[in-house]
Amino acid sequence: MALLFKGLVSFSLLFYLGSKLSWDKFFSYCQTLNPWMLFLSFFFCALQTLLSSLRWKILLTALNTEIKIWTAFQLAMIGKFFNALLPGGTSGDLMRIYYALKLFPGKKTAMSVSIIFDRFIEGVVLLVLGSFFGLLFYSQLREKPLVQKAVLFLLLLTVLTLIFFASLRITLKGSIKLSRFFFKKTKGLETVLEEILLALDAFKNAYYKVFIACILSLGVHLAAILMFVFVALSFHMQLPLWLLIVVMVEITLVVSLPISISGLGVREGSVLLLLGSYGISPELAVGFSLLSFAIGTLWSLVGGVFFLTWKKDNSKRYSFH
């Protein structure tokens, strides 16, 4: 039922947006695409995965766990493949956790926390980056109320996320006390919460490695920004870099909402509203959004090769040192 609802939302929004477009103009823009700019956008899309794999490898060392960068990259690609194949933005992370537990069966909680913490750092850095550039150029948005609201929303979400992160250890400690009080005979929940707390303490003590992970997250987002830059250039669009950063953050947030299939329709509508305020035509805005989605999906589908290879060669499941 949920999948049917998401499909209906995506189809309805795409149909509505399509009815507002001049398709002759849309296809004329597509015919002028610069193939070299598309190649560069695909390259930076791939670079994001390599940098995020290195980030996860470094975070694992904080938990006294070593993994080869190639193995981390394989798991990242498998995760991307399932993100493209299955509905929901967390499908890929669940598959990464599943195969990571095959590699390290004795470290179930630590591996799960490492992947979740890895994505959390990426998200926090993304929000901070978007809020920073949005506020830095906020004075230029006096006649752009919609973009102003988007920037303020990013700032609010960033503050709430940082508050949540700062209070996470206290919340976990309180949860452990409650589990002891309400589940005296069941130690399973308490044990898991304690293991999560230990993992977070390990990250806290390895603050230098967490700092490096944040720097790598900046690299991941810089690669994403450059991907958007080259997608825009392939359409011969001239947009401020800071605006593309805000658009990138907004797209990431919209795609994470579980109301459509892979964000289709919702993404295009959001991009149209944000770029439309800068004089970008609906045809260009929708083309920019769909092409960005297509490049990301194409790279994710490459992960299918990694998945098939992983399944075929069982020895690679244990290729760590």
Say which residues have a Cβ less than 8 Å from residue 200's Cβ, sequence separation at least 6.
113, 117, 168, 169, 172
pLDDT tens per residue, the chain (321 residues)?
666 767 777 778 788 888 888 888 888 888 889 999 999 999 999 999 999 999 999 999 999 888 999 999 999 999 999 887 766 566 788 888 998 888 888 888 888 999 999 999 998 998 888 888 888 877 777 777 777 787 888 889 889 988 988 888 888 778 777 776 666 555 566 777 788 888 888 898 888 999 999 999 999 999 998 999 999 999 988 888 877 777 777 777 777 766 777 777 788 888 888 788 778 888 888 899 899 989 998 999 999 899 888 876 654 444 444
Tell me the HSE value of 88 on the side-chain side, using a 13 A CA sphere. 12
Length of the chain: 321
What are the residue boundaries of the structural domains of the chain, listed by start?
40-244+297-316
Task: Judge whether 128 and 151 are in contact, CB under 8 Å.
Answer: no
Residue pLDDT, tens place only, 229-284: 999 999 988 888 877 777 777 777 777 766 777 777 788 888 888 788 778 888 88
